[in-house]
Chains A and B, each alone.
Chain A
């Protein structure tokens, strides 16, 4: 384990690069998936097609996608953009379903009440649909975040630096501690981002905490969290 102590600088540096690769796709996936998911929910005819076609992206293995993207995008082979685009695609593949489910789960009566008191469609989306779909969106986003952080490491194989470089380097030089360092650092990073999302969710959606206080709600809340962890 002395390797880890001696190379803390390197690990920290790679962790920052790792973040630079992981965060943009997570944000992109969220921003793009909410309208697509809303569309899939709003126009039922598009739901089946959209969800299955987009879901198919997730079946594509990551390394081949990293390799194939330069030919499609015209980017250089070691460009960080390949990894970012690929991860954004995976994020969308996971997130659109959550978004469609989230909007689908909004109580119809609540929506009608909002229309009844004179909310326009635009205002209803921001003040009713989006907040009420929030917990499901958050659950989806957490899954996207954790898997994105983990998938960034595969980029190391095609020469895009990240914590995954500790795996390839450690394997080539036969240093087990280096691989352990990469494993632990990647998982810590994933859990840290996941934790931040949970905290952000509580700040943005204070009512989810309030409803968790009564005993029935607490059980539901815990089930929801567990669900998020299990997906």
Chain B
């Protein structure tokens, strides 16, 4: 366990946190790359997912896309795009966005789709426009699932951003690869601990967010104060509800 002691000692040394190549800057870089890529992926995936979930059109494509992603090795995408675009941040950024879009898309369409159709019909009956239904009814009710999609995108990107250092994108992976090149296991382990901690913190934050955003009305239904429950199983991330493909 002295390996861990060494790694933690390195992490706790303030000298390693300062300066342009220090942990502080790299951590910030890592977060910037992650949230930048996820933000762009959300800009693409959320509107598309809303459209797919609301109309049911293009559902097969969206499902195939989000399912096929699991077979796609991120290291391969990363190196391929890096060779195309050249070393720097642009290549990895493109790769990270490509890897994040399917998660966001899957989370959004299953969120919209999992909303009880009777609720949607009621909203339509009250004279809401389709746009109002999507933004005012389906999105708030499906928000926890939608955020679940963003959550898995963030996790995938934060992990792949570590790999992105392999093609020269900076971030915490830089420390890991420096250790790898120089055979310094303390560096590798310290960087790994940092990335793992970062991923767990982000995952926890999103888990909390998913709990907070449940609309009051939906929460009321869950605790049983209202009689009717939704007939559909609430879909977990990227997992469309089984029943009722109407």
Contact = CB atoms under 8 A, between A and B. Distances in A.
A186 B71 contact: yes
| B: contact size bracket | 35 or more
Contact of A168 (B66, B67, B79, B193): B79
B242 A63 contact: no
B196 A64 contact: yes
Interface stretch (B126-134, B161-169, B211-219): B161-169
Contact of A183 (B67, B72, B240, B245): B72
A183 B196 contact: no
B192 A179 contact: no
Contacts of A182: 73, 76
A68 B82 contact: no
Nearest to B78: A167
B70 A147 contact: yes
B123 interface: no
A228 B167 CA distance: 33
Contacts of B76: 153, 164, 167, 179, 182-183, 186
Contacts of A224: 242
Given A64-B196, A186-B76, A230 B240 contact: yes
Interface in A210-227: 219-220, 223-224, 226-227
B231 to A, nearest CB: 15
A120 B128 CA distance: 57
A128 interface: no
A77 B185 contact: yes
Nearest to B202: A59
A229 interface: yes
Contact of B189 (A67, A226, A231): A67
B170 interface: no
Interface string A59-88: 111111101101100000100000000000
Interface in B41-98: 60, 63-64, 66-68, 70-80, 82-84
B180 A157 contact: yes
Contact of A186 (B73, B158, B196): B73
25 contacts: A56-B200, A60-B199, A61-B158, A63-B163, A63-B195, A64-B192, A64-B195, A67-B192, A68-B189, A70-B185, A71-B1, A150-B71, A151-B73, A157-B163, A176-B80, A182-B76, A186-B73, A224-B242, A226-B60, A227-B240, A229-B63, A229-B64, A229-B67, A229-B68, A231-B239
